[in-house]
Amino acid sequence: MDILGLTTTALGLQDVSIEKVSYDPKTLSATIQVRQCRESAKCSRCKEPLHGVRQWRKRTLKGITLGALTNVKVIFYQLQGGCGRCVKHRLSHAPFIHPRFKKLTTAFAENAGRLMEEITCEATARLVHYDSKPLWSLDQWRMRKMKSIWKPADQKLRLKHMSADEVHMRTIKPKKREDRWKREEWERKFITNLVCYNHSKVIANAAGRDARSLKKCLMQLSEPQRLMIEYLAVDMHDPFIKAATKLCPNADIAVDRFHLAEAMNRRFDEVRKTELTKAREAKDIFQEGMLAPSRRFVLMERNRELSKSDQKMLDRMREENKNIHNAMLIVEYFHVLLDKKTVTEFRKSLALWKGLVEDSGLEPLKKFSKLVTKYVAYIETYIKSHLTTAVSEGLNNKIKVLKRMGYGYTNEESFMNKILQRCGFLNSNHINTNSWFFEVLA
């Protein structure tokens, strides 16, 4: 292959001859003039060979970066000739012109698309020297195109361990306030993501955070795939549990440990607030300081590393306030419960823990004990599988970064597709788009 052939291939051009090349070393820009080969000209409609040349149509295309030349313009002379089958004069077929964005070469569109998989449209626009608005449209078109190609039901995925969790999308302020004295209720929009632990990817997603949302996610899987699921981790959200139980009959539902600990800490904090109020009424300065909101994590933190002076103060606090002492014991023992290796050990320890809660007489902890009783079957599944929503929470952090980079999203479909692109399989790393540098079928 000669240097001209290598250049046309690098630009993603086919069946053309280079007539003129000019470049500006100051701006690192180049203009390449090419003309379509007559011998290989085919009808753009029926792909039959064209006869004769009626005219040459001049087109200006945005070309892919060529080495150090970051701004490349392609002047393309496209042949128009007679087609025997169509009995009309047709433009010749040019596969390197993007079928949706006529001012771009397919090579430039694919290069920019791959950049937008990793960074924002604005950042890509600065790198490739192009307007960000058509690049945003290109990114949306590309994601929809990939979504029509890659479907979870058609893939061979390892779906034994799954989790479902929601992520916040946006909060909408009401347009009109009906009652000036009534508190405004802002609408919060969520996206439900179905995550595969074996791949650490978002498999499917849907708008909302109810049973219907998770059903939409699970219905994107085939029936054999849903039957393949052995464990599915969720938070203590009854609609998710209901949908998962119905569509995944072979799956054991596990309640996430983090959400259990979070609910436990909220109840402990209620006890702390009550005791803080009592200390203020009694004007007990020591207990006021130890029960202050800024020190609540010291009381609840597990495996805390304290200095000797702080440990002495904490021991004194436990001696002077029996309710806090009992609450701390109950919290600590609840974590011991969740560390059990077998369900039998868990059940024995759970009975003892419930006895401690009843003997303490603390109403917030009694309410939490009822919550544990409600979800005990799902907690036992966690003991068996030790499956949590940790991967989902990690992906949620990545999604929140994505949302901040885009300065928020208002379009649900765009946000969901972007999640699948950044945190799922909807990208060139998992879908082979190498041919898109030379031709993209509409």
| Tens-digit pLDDT profile for residues 154-177 | 999 999 999 999 999 998 877 766
Asked if 241 contacts 253 with a C-beta cutoff of 8 angstroms, the reply is: yes
> Is residue 287 assigned to a domain?
yes
> Is residue 93 assigned to a domain?
yes
Q: Is 203 helix (H, G, I), strand (E, B) or coil?
A: strand
| pTM score, whole prediction | 0.88
**CATH number reported for the structural domain that contains residue 246 in this entry:** 3.30.420.10
Q: Is 57 helix (H, G, I), strand (E, B) or coil?
A: strand
Distance, in Å, from the CA atom of 111 to the CA atom of 23, rounded to the nearest integer, reads: 21
Quick one: 319 and 242 in the same domain?
A: no
Quick one: 272 and 206 in the same domain?
A: no
Report the pLDDT value the prediction gives residue 181, as an integer from 0 to 100.
Answer: 64
- Count of the separate structural domains present in the chain: 3
Q: Is 247 helix (H, G, I), strand (E, B) or coil?
A: helix
Quick one: 343 and 304 in the same domain?
A: yes
Quick one: 283 and 241 in the same domain?
A: no
Asked if 57 contacts 50 with a C-beta cutoff of 8 angstroms, the reply is: no
Asked if 330 contacts 365 with a C-beta cutoff of 8 angstroms, the reply is: yes
Give the residue numbers spanning the domain of 192. Answer: 152-172+185-256+389-423
Report the pLDDT value the prediction gives residue 13, as an integer from 0 to 100.
Answer: 92
Query: CB 187: neighbour CB atoms within 10 A?
Result: 9
pLDDT tens digits, residue range 265-302?
Answer: 999 999 999 999 999 999 888 888 888 888 776 676 66
> Is residue 441 assigned to a domain?
no
Q: Find the DSSP H helices in 55-210.
A: 106-116, 121-128, 132-149
> Is residue 369 assigned to a domain?
yes
Average pLDDT, the chain: 90
> Is residue 295 assigned to a domain?
yes
> Is residue 428 assigned to a domain?
no
How far is CA 413 from each of CA 148, 191, 240, 341, rounded to the nearest angstrom? 14, 10, 21, 42
Quick one: 381 and 261 in the same domain?
A: yes
pLDDT of residue 179 exceeding 70 = no
Quick one: 226 and 333 in the same domain?
A: no
Quick one: 250 and 313 in the same domain?
A: no
> Is residue 434 assigned to a domain?
no
Q: Which amino acid is at 405?
A: M
